[in-house]
Amino acid sequence: MIRPICLCFIAALFALAGCKQKEAEGVYVEISLRNDTDIDKYVVFNPNLKSIEECEATFAQALPGVMANLPQAIPKNSTATGWKCSLKDPTKKK
């Protein structure tokens, strides 16, 4: 009776080992914008960040640099009203 329990325990350990989450290739940040046009979001990808937690902890410091280097299509008078970190591209349809 003990032997089947041990086998189940070992099988469960192997199953959990296979569920290990792989490291992300980077983090997407969706910045909410306020401006005179209908452009209300801008998405940047940072390959140096590897987790949502790391993004949330450090993006406030990076935001002024991102806002200073907006693409020409986004009005320079845009202000950021918030941001959201994600491991998946928020511009792609689900």
> pLDDT band at residue 27, thresholds of 50, 70 and 90?
very high
Instruction: Summarize pLDDT for 71-94 with one digit per residue, the tens.
Output: 999 998 999 999 999 999 998 876
Q: How far apart are the first and last CA of the chain?
A: 47
Please give the model's pTM, rounded to 2 decimal places.
0.71
Reply yes or no on whether the pLDDT at 6 is more than 70: no
Q: Which of 40, 42, 46 is nearest to 28 (CA)?
A: 46
Confidence of residue 31 (pLDDT cuts 50, 70, 90): very high
Structure token pair of residue 49: 């960040």
